[in-house]
Amino acid sequence: MSKKMDAGFLPVNVGSPDRLKVSRIAQILIDALGLPDTRIRYTGDARGWDGDVVKTDMDISLLQSYGWAPQFSAEDAILSQIKWLVDDYGSIDR
């Protein structure tokens, strides 16, 4: 990181402070895409798969210290992205 800072770059996290479970993200997708008959199937255990990150927290305090604030909640950002994808690529064919 110090090399990037010396080169004029500073890596920062951009996101929202709220957290969503993967199950909630899946349900948002199912609802937004109008797929009510879709079942969520869990495989593996609570740990996920080898190399999976169980929890992440975005530390956005550096950007906030400069007056930046997220414009969307995590849920709203997901819904916005789904809308953009459907508008550009069309709805899912069943």
Domain locations along the chain: 2-43+57-89
SS3 91: coil
Q: What does the pLDDT read at residue 6?
A: 66
Could you tell me the pTM of the whole model? 0.73
The highest-level CATH class for domain 2-43+57-89 is: alpha beta
pLDDT per position in the chain (94 positions), as tens? 456 556 777 888 888 888 888 889 999 999 999 999 999 988 777 777 777 777 778 889 988 998 999 999 999 999 999 999 999 998 877 5
Ordered DSSP codes for 42-79: --SBTTBSTT--S------HHHHHTT---SS-HHHHHH
